[in-house]
């Protein structure tokens, strides 16, 4: 598309992302988990998967050159707050902010050192991000173990490597079912929305990715998050062993008897509710 004055423009009136990357010298850095999405149709699909954004403050981690950020704004996000660690991206993001006055706030810094609940302020919050793979799981676990529940966000729509996405949504009996699946299943309702092939990214990663949508349960079964963590860590730490063996340090057979679970079962056969019962009996 040609914009006014012969300058190329995208459907949102801003320059195409390839031009932005070139003009600001944003060659992807592996150390920052940079795999950019340049197709506004695809980023638009992610924005739509996040639900109604018109009343929401969207928190984004790692806006990079701004592809997903632009899609979120174009799809009507009331406000976007985006945390970016790579200072090279800030000038490009300032152009997006100028194009959408009062709707985009860029926070330069490390997402791992950010207090997201404090950033969120009042009103509904949705977290949407094409996460850097090296910190994606850690951020998800932090958001899932936030002390106040229901949490500060209404939903999370996040990109992960397919293999991690499978662990996130895994149910009992599945090979991918483990500590992460129990934590996710306990506090949220999670599903994979769609897959994204490597070629959709610049540069392409080695593996397929998936967008996961997680909605917090308003009233998860009551449990202490630390105790649940101890029980799942012990159970899945030796996942091929019988529970009476793997849970020995937490009470073994007598703990299992107390909640009516057969000690010859293996971790991957236990439902989330059974793990919660164990945590409450520890």
The neighbour count for residue 254, using CB atoms within 10 Å, is 11
Smallest gap, in angstroms, from Cβ of residue 219 to ligand SAM? 32
Q: Are 232 and 177 in contact (CB under 8 A)?
A: no
Residue whose pair of structure tokens reads 């149709």 in the numeric block: 41
Residue whose pair of structure tokens reads 């309702």 in the numeric block: 189
Q: Is 64 in the site for ligand SAM (CB under 6 A)?
A: yes
Binding mask 25-54 for ligand SAM (x = CB under 6 A): -------xxxxxx-----------------
Residue whose pair of structure tokens reads 């949508």 in the numeric block: 213
The neighbour count for residue 210, using CB atoms within 10 Å, is 20
Q: Are 208 and 216 in contact (CB under 8 A)?
A: no
Q: Is 84 in the site for ligand SAM (CB under 6 A)?
A: yes
Q: Which residue lies nearest ligand SAM, judged by its C-beta?
A: 62
- Given the rule CB under 6 A, which of 49-57, 61-69, 149-157, 235-243 is the region that contacts ligand SAM? 61-69
Q: Is 75 in the site for ligand SAM (CB under 6 A)?
A: no
Phi, psi of 7 (to 5 degrees): -80, 130
Smallest gap, in angstroms, from Cβ of residue 82 to ligand SAM? 8
Q: Is 79 in the site for ligand SAM (CB under 6 A)?
A: no
Nearest to 281 by CA among 237, 242, 230: 230
Rounded Cα distance, 34 and 32, in Å: 5
Rounded Cα distance, 45 and 208, in Å: 17
Smallest gap, in angstroms, from Cβ of residue 190 to ligand SAM? 20
Helix-then-strand count for the chain, H and E: 12, 9
Q: Is 112 in the site for ligand SAM (CB under 6 A)?
A: yes
- 137-230-180 Cα angle (round to 5): 25
Q: Is 256 in the site for ligand SAM (CB under 6 A)?
A: no
Smallest gap, in angstroms, from Cβ of residue 94 to ligand SAM? 15
Q: Which is nearer to ligand SAM, 86 or 268 (CB)?
A: 86
Q: Is 117 in the site for ligand SAM (CB under 6 A)?
A: no
Q: Is 107 in the site for ligand SAM (CB under 6 A)?
A: no
Smallest gap, in angstroms, from Cβ of residue 7 to ligand SAM? 22
Residues in contact with ligand SAM by CB under 6 A are 32-37, 61-64, 67-68, 83-86, 89, 110-112, 130, 132, 135
């Amino acid at each position: 598309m040609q914009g006014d004055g012969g300058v190329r423009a995208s459907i949102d009136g801003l320059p195409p992302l390839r031009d932005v990357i070139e003009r600001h010298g944003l060659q992807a850095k592996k150390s920052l988990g940079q795999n950019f999405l340049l197709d506004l149709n695809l980023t638009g699909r992610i924005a739509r998967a996040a639900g109604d954004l018109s009343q929401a403050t969207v928190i984004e981690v790692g806006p990079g050159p701004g592809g997903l950020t632009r899609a979120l704004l174009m799809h009507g996000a009331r406000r976007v707050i985006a945390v970016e660690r790579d200072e090279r991206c800030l000038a490009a993001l300032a152009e997006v902010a100028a194009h959408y006055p009062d709707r985009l706030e860029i926070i330069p810094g490390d997402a791992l050192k950010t207090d997201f609940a404090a950033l969120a302020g009042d009103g509904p919050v949705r977290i949407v991000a094409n996460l850097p793979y090296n910190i994606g799981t850690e951020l998800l676990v932090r958001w899932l173990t936030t002390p106040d529940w229901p949490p500060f966000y209404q939903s999370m729509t996040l990109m992960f490597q397919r293999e991690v996405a499978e662990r996130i949504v895994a149910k009992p009996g599945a090979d991918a079912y483990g500590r992460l699946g129990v934590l996710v299943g306990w506090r949220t309702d999670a599903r994979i929305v769609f897959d994204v092939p490597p070629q959709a990214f610049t540069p392409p990663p080695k593996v397929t990715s998936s967008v996961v949508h997680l909605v917090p349960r308003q009233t998860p079964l009551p449990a202490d998050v630390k105790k649940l963590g101890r029980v799942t860590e012990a159970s899945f730490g030796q996942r091929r062993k019988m529970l009476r063996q793997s849970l020995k340090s937490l009470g073994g057979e007598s703990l299992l008897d107390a909640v009516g679970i057969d000690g010859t079962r293996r971790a991957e056969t236990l439902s989330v509710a059974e793990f919660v019962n164990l945590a409450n009996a520890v």
